[in-house]
Amino acid sequence: MAKVYVFDHPLIQHKLTYIREKDTGTKDFRELVDEVATLMAFEITRDMPLEEIEIETPVSKTKSKVISGKKIGVIPILRAGIGMVDGILKLIPAAKVGHIGLYRDPETLMPVEYYVKLPSDVEERDFIVVDPMLATGGSAVEAINSLKKRGAKNIKFMCLIAAPEGVEAVKNAHPDVDIYIAALDERLNEKGYIIPGLGDAGDRLFGTK
Ligand code: URA
């Protein structure tokens, strides 16, 4: 069964408070999301395998550890997911970045794929799917479906704020995908916004309304 990790590091929680605050402007919002994404990337990479290599320091030969050839793919769900990418790449600069775009069909209300561009070696990579908000879970479930359909085997999902409904949806659809969040909020409102949440993450990141 999927595990859910809530990153309660004081720096993450502090920055998240100002991300939520309605008077935080676009510039600060963007910078704070970027910083929290970096801090979350630090936590999410905790299980990366290490191997020992031989090196020479200025005073002696020694064996020392390096990350053992893990290939990572970061997949932002368009568009708000883009706001988390640079923060992750600060710690994993060699990661490849794919994009998945989904829109909601006005009749069925189901997410429909309109854009998918992934690294060519999907089967060999471990993926981190990112979206700041896990609301109903529809987009996350579909983005993960999309990756799996193309051969991805090892997937993590990372977001800033999740609603319990979204967590359940991802856990049920993808029990093999662990979920990493900075805060688990109360619920969704009738318009599908997370309460208390932060409003529309895409609009706040890109300064649109
Ligand atoms: N997407 C957002 O940007 N905000 C929400 O509260 C829910 C979904």
Determine if ligand 1 sits within 6 Å of the CB of residue 134: no
Which of 165, 181, 193 to mutate for ligand 1's pocket (most ligand atoms within 8 Å of CB)? 193
Q: Comparing C-alpha atoms, which of 86, 50, 43 is closest to residue 179? A: 43
Flag whether pLDDT at 177 surpasses 90: yes
Q: Given pLDDT bands bounded at 50, 70 and 90, which one contains residue 69? A: confident
**Dihedrals φ, ψ of 80, to 5°?**
-65, -25
Determine if ligand 1 sits within 6 Å of the CB of residue 133: yes
- Given this model, what pLDDT does residue 62 score? 98
Inter-axis angle of helices 164-173 and 138-149, nearest 10:
20
Q: Is 108 a catalytic residue?
A: yes
Determine if ligand 1 sits within 6 Å of the CB of residue 197: yes
Q: Is 200 a catalytic residue?
A: yes
Rounded Cα gap, residues 75 and 38, in angstroms: 15
Is 131 marked as binding a ligand? yes
pTM equals: 0.95
Contact in structure between 75 and 147 (CB atoms under 8 Å) = yes
- Given this model, what pLDDT does residue 104 score? 84
209: its two tokens: 């309304």
The CB density around residue 10, as the number of other CB atoms within 10 Å, is: 7
Which tens digit of pLDDT belongs to each residue from 44-60? 999 999 999 999 999 99
Inter-axis angle of helices 10-20 and 26-44, nearest 10:
150
Rounded Cα gap, residues 51 and 27, in angstroms: 40
Helices (H), the chain: 10-20, 26-44, 82-89, 138-149, 164-173, 201-206
ipTM summary value: 0.96
Determine if ligand 1 sits within 6 Å of the CB of residue 162: no
- Given this model, what pLDDT does residue 70 score? 79
Which tens digit of pLDDT belongs to each residue from 94-152? 999 999 999 988 888 789 999 999 999 999 999 999 999 999 999 999 999 999 999 99
Task: Tell me what the pLDDT averaged over the chain comes to.
Answer: 96
Q: Is 203 a catalytic residue?
A: yes
Rounded Cα gap, residues 146 and 174, in angstroms: 12
Q: Is 8 a catalytic residue?
A: no
